Amino acid sequence: MNIYQRRGVPTIINAAGTLTRLSGGIMRPEVSAAMADAAGYTVDMATLQAHASDTIAEITGAEAGYVASGSAAGLMIGTAACLTGLDAGAMARLPDTRGLKNRVIVPRSHRNSYDHAVRTTGARLVEVGLPDRGSGAGVRDTEVSDIAAAISDRTAAVHYVATRISQPPLADVVAVAHASQVPVVVDAAAELPPQANLRNFIAEGADLVVFSGGKAIGGPQASGILCGRKHLIMAAALQHLDMDVVDDLWDPPARLIDRSRLAAVPRHGIGRPCKAGKEEIIGLLTALELFVAEGDEARHQRWLADARAIADHLADVPAPVTLTGQDDPTAVPKVSVHLATRAAAKALHDRLVDHRPAIHLDVSDYRSGTVVLNPMCLRPGDAARVGNALAAALG
């Protein structure tokens, strides 16, 4: 019996992808083993984060890195860092931002529910641009000139959500922001693969970038990477680490926290509720190294084998089935089933959720009648179970 069975909690088959509400993905045994090893010892957390910084810097090309409890946590402490810099008084005041640069510019088309993490710091979002291509009435999105026009002496940062279709291009946003010494914070939580994105946004000049540890990287569900400029990572660390320290005894690792740059020792900061444990930090670093070692090609083949296995079971069903992302090693291969109506898609969804174990699909396109099977979070043998259940449900 597994731990969930012993506790009477039903497990599911997650064919929806690395969704947080479905518990993300599956960790490799090496990652679980590293976490168990980590749990058996105690360490100084600032020393562990300094090691994490070295590892993340090496892999991302950033000056420094940090591990938080997720991408959203990384966005919060990263934004806090942009608001306060190394001013301990400002850190203590957040989320009261009176007297600070507290405006964060965001292209209107980049707004999403995760910007709560930005607003939690006390920052005020300034939305810019008119994404009229979204309404079908035009062809444009936010323009760099919209961002340039919005920058003022109150601007703390530009918030940029990276996707394959984000506009304006990041490099252009960086150019206008840096012309006014404004940092750019990139939410790239789910932008892996391609693996090259671990370095791309930093190479394009982003000052801070976040990636989720619990998505494609395959780390603990509650982990995330923040990487970027050294002084901003230092400011983020100071607002996340436990700061119950005695001033004259406190001796943090200088490559993460350079005490000579601090006028005073900050107290617990706004990020303290986003605590990451030693187990998460070690798990994330282990998973990150395995992710890099596997490479896009091998990962794509692993996922493709499951996607093909599902599609093979659907060869005779009376609905069009497509396998996408087959030929692109940087894509996640997926199986789409196109039902005639939304009602038919709902019926299929309901039937699979009633399957034991329940099977969850990607339903983001369900209103158009399409359901999608994503192989990223399947266990060995799940692809055949999903294929059989789908074939039976579709008759």
Q: Which residues bind ligand PLP (CB under 6 A)?
A: 20, 70-72, 114, 161, 187, 189-190, 212, 214, 224
- Tokens (6 digits) for 220: 């603990």
State how far the Cα of 338 lies from the Cα of 369, in Å rounded to an integer: 6
* Min CB(358)–ligand PLP separation in Å: 22
* Min CB(91)–ligand PLP separation in Å: 22
State which residue, 22 or 323, has the beta carbon closest to ligand PLP. Answer: 22
State which residue, 14 or 266, has the beta carbon closest to ligand PLP. Answer: 14
State which residue, 25 or 252, has the beta carbon closest to ligand PLP. Answer: 25
Q: Is 324 helix (H, G, I), strand (E, B) or coil?
A: strand
Residues 137 and 96: beta-carbon distance below 8 Å = no
* Min CB(192)–ligand PLP separation in Å: 11
* Min CB(218)–ligand PLP separation in Å: 13
Query: Which residue of the chain is nearest ligand PLP when measured via CB?
Result: 70
State which residue, 189 or 389, has the beta carbon closest to ligand PLP. Answer: 189
| String of DSSP letters for 256-311 | T--GGG-SS---S-TTGGG---HHHHHHHHHHHHHHHHHHHHHHHHHHHHHHHHHH
What per-residue string of b and e applies to 163-184 under the rule 16 or more CB within 10 Å gives b? eeebbbebeebbebbeeeebbb
State how far the Cα of 377 lies from the Cα of 306, in Å rounded to an integer: 10
- Tokens (6 digits) for 55: 């590892």
Bridge partner list, 125: 104
* Min CB(341)–ligand PLP separation in Å: 29
State which residue, 212 or 393, has the beta carbon closest to ligand PLP. Answer: 212
Name the helix (H) or strand (E) containing 382: helix 382-394
State which residue, 114 or 366, has the beta carbon closest to ligand PLP. Answer: 114
* Min CB(388)–ligand PLP separation in Å: 30
